[in-house]
Amino acid sequence: MTHITSMLKSYPKDLGGIDRQKLAECIAACFECAQTCTACEDACLSEKMVADLTRCIRTNADCADICTTTGRVLSRHAGYDANITRAILLACEVACKACANECEQHAGMHEHCRICAEACRRCETACREVAATLG
């Protein structure tokens, strides 16, 4: 996360009242969650009972895409629009919650789903915390 923090510190303009540490943690959580969801999706596709994991696979794919987009949006500050940021954080929080709920249903049988659920919960919390700092 040092590069994320370094980039936020090096930004030439004021970021407003946003907590830089929470922002850095959220960006990192988004990208980590996207990677974890992508890997979980791939692992689900490799399971013998793949047909039973269709919803999990879809939820993983959606969550990964939304997390990637959220991390990218949070990394841009020029022309910042708090309404867009709030909306994308809410979308990411909702996607992470849905993915975590789905993966938790399979966590007893599939370690990759347990790991994915943890990453989703972390990202869900990080998005909620950053959104709360936006006012």
User: Which domains does the chain show, CATH number per domain?
Assistant: 18-133 (1.20.1270.360)
The pair of structure tokens assigned to 111 is: 């370690």
Question: Whole-angstrom Cα distance, residue 22 to residue 133?
Answer: 9
Average pLDDT of the chain?
94
H or E element, residue 135: none
Alpha helix segments (H runs only) across the chain: 2-10, 20-46, 54-74, 82-106, 111-133
**What is the CA angle 29-31-37, rounded to 5?**
95
Q: What band does 1 get if pLDDT is binned at 50, 70 and 90?
A: low
Question: Whole-angstrom Cα distance, residue 51 to residue 123?
Answer: 27
- List all residues 6 or more positions away from 111 whose beta carbon is below 8 Å from its beta carbon: none
| Predicted confidence (pLDDT) at residue 135 exceeds the cutoff of 90 | no
User: Which amino acid is located at 110 in the chain?
Assistant: H
pLDDT score, position 16: 74
Q: What band does 19 get if pLDDT is binned at 50, 70 and 90?
A: confident
Tokens 């910042």 — which residue? 80
pLDDT score, position 57: 98
For the whole model, what pTM was predicted? Answer: 0.94
Question: Whole-angstrom Cα distance, residue 6 to residue 24?
Answer: 9
The pair of structure tokens assigned to 72 is: 């990218």
Mean pLDDT of 21-46: 97
Mean pLDDT of 43-51: 96
Q: What are phi and psi of 90, to 5 degrees?
A: -65, -45
Q: What are the pLDDT digits (tens) for 72-94?
A: 999 998 777 889 999 999 999 99
CA–centroid distance for 27 within its chain: 8
